[in-house]
Structure 1
């Protein structure tokens, strides 16, 4: 091996070799992408299971929020029953939104 510091190494590429390597790289790239897409593809059953699971989660959340609203309303009702005075003091923002609050109940 006779490489001096002032000379760059001479690398020889044949056009046919470059084309073969390029073709092999493209084939490998397409194959790897195909394998990844195949792995990521969901079956109909998996999609159905995920859809059903999302419905269950949504139903649970709606039920939880409804129960919390019922509990809050009953607490307010019990507190209002315990008031003996004929006068009720409300904060201004509650007073202004009282119709909206009762519509939600």
Structure 2
């Protein structure tokens, strides 16, 4: 399990998002099992972090593989859910538009 709270309770920068994305990619290469990504004790996620971490990751590996490899857990906060969903949708739309 990857606990995002290890990087802080407020995840707000692109730099941090890149670090977490690279960690997720390394774990994906190592693990043969689905990987849980926990939002426990995370109280804020910025659009910059969400785009850099999850938006770019999903574009890189594809939405289908993301769903097969990663499981998002402990995500109760509706505002964080909305930030993640809207940011990933925007990144996917930008990716499709540039193809």
Q: Same fold (TM over 0.5)?
A: no
TM-score normalised per structure 1: 0.22
TM-score normalised per structure 2: 0.23
Larger strand share, 1 or 2: 2
Larger helix share, 1 or 2: 1
Query: Which gives a bigger RCO, structure 1 or 2 (Cα 8 Å, sep 6+)?
Result: 2
Kindly name which structure, 1 or 2, has the bigger radius of gyration based on alpha carbons.
1
